[in-house]
Structure 1
Amino acid sequence: MAAKIILLNGVGSAGKSSIAKALQEMTAEPYLHVEMDAFLGMLPEALQENMPGFAYKTSWEDGKPSVTIEAGAVGRRAMQGMRHAIAAMARQGNNLVVDDVMLDGGMAQYLELLSDFAVFSVGVLAPLDVLEAREGARADRLPGLARWQFERVHKGVVYDLEVDTSALSPLECAERIQAKFHL
């Protein structure tokens, strides 16, 4: 039986990891949780905020920070490698729930690489003010990432399902995903 892959796409702090963990507890078959943050964490510390890894530049919009992310050659290879690793895991028969912030055609790359599998795309949404509040409450986030990602992450992407984490708990989002895709 071919692997099933759930692609959770949303701005950082939207609730993707919490939804993935809830899904793992309720699906009939086991699903591995693949987090973009785990792949970013593989980079040497010196490249976490420097080229050729990733560079972050803060500007201001409406009196609030907006952090632009620029990927260098090593950063781009790491993200491309992540997508290929996910395809390799699926080829081994692993069901996956992927938690990613897809920019610059990331969803199209996934859909191409995963064309042999059952892929379910889920947009994980919340209003910007909610995302910024969550981001501010987390020590592992740069203030302004949500603002910059907000208009970019979902641009041009058509999802099989969208969930709003400002209106639904992670468990309720997971229940909707499970019901929609018969997991």
Structure 2
Amino acid sequence: MIIFLNGTSSSGKSSIAKELLAVLDETCFHMPVDAFHAMRSRHELTEEQLHVVLRHTWMGFHRAVAGMAAAGNTVVVDHVLSEPWRLRDCLALFPPQDVVLVGVHCPLPELERREQARGDRPPGLAARQINQVHGHGTYDIECDTGSTSPLDCARQIKTFLPRRPAPTAFERLRAAPLTVPAAVS
């Protein structure tokens, strides 16, 4: 199974993932895309080269998640679907019946406060991402980290898992034409 946490930067995805690993009964792995970015060497790149490297990083991340899940592992994915191709790539790679798509929401003022407190994100990143990240509009379950703690979000997800309906959000997204707002990184 792939528990797919999608939300803007600073929305609380990693905090929920950490709590999910603690509350879920089975062994699972947290695979945050930030870890893949952190593995990359740092070289001077032109804007165009950087765009290509970032795209390849995301594509490799998607394939690593698919590989872990195909090997029988439960994977908690921490992701930002801020470009339509990312969702299309995941839809093509992941068995849609095995994905639980979780919308991680947070009010913009709180996102901005978190960004400032973190200091490791460009100011306004979450504001630029918010419409694109949730533009596909379909989730299996949603949570709001502005009003709910990461632990309570994780508990809500755990409670939802045994009674998740079919078709899943991924199955519905695969069956429908994908229309999302213009892309932002």
Interval containing the TM-score (normalised by the shorter chain): 0.7 to 0.9
CA distance in 2 between counterparts of 1:21 and 1:41 reads 18
Alignment RMSD (CA, Å): 1.8
1:81 and 2:60 matched = yes
State how far apart, in whole Å, the 1-side matches of 2:161 and 2:88 are. Answer: 20
Unaligned runs of 5+ in 1: 54-71
- Measure the CA separation in 2 of the matches of 1:133 and 1:15: 12
- List structure 1 segments (4+ residues) > 6 angstroms apart after TM superposition: none
Work out whether residues 8 and 98 of structure 1, in 8 Å CA contact, stay in contact via their aligned partners in 2: yes
| Overall identity of the aligned pairs, in % | 41
Cα deviation, residue 48, structure 1 = 8.3
Q: 1:33 Cα shift?
A: 0.1
2:130 pairs with 1:150: yes
Structure with the bigger percentage of helix: 2
The C-alpha deviation readout for 1:93-150, integer Å capped at 9, x for no partner, is: 1110000111222233223211165110000001111100110000221111111111
Structure 1 174/33 Cα, relative in aligned 2: closer, same or farther at 3 Å? same
How many pairs align? 162
- Asked whether 1:99 is paired with 2:78, we answer yes
AA aligned to 2:78 is D
2:167 maps to none
TM-score of the superposed pair, with normalisation by structure 2: 0.82
User: Matched residues in 2 for 1:10 and 1:181: separation?
Assistant: 19
Bigger fraction of residues in strand: 1
Q: Which runs of 5+ in 2 are unaligned?
A: 164-185
Q: Distance in 2 between matches of 1:96 and 1:47?
A: 33
Does residue 140 of structure 2 align to residue 160 of structure 1? yes
Q: Distance in 2 between matches of 1:100 and 1:78?
A: 13
Would you say 1:28 and 2:25 are equivalent positions? Answer: yes
How do 1:127-142 and structure 2 match up within 5 A?
Answer: 127-142=107-122
The one-letter amino acid of 1:108's match is R
Q: TM-score, length-normalised on structure 1? A: 0.83
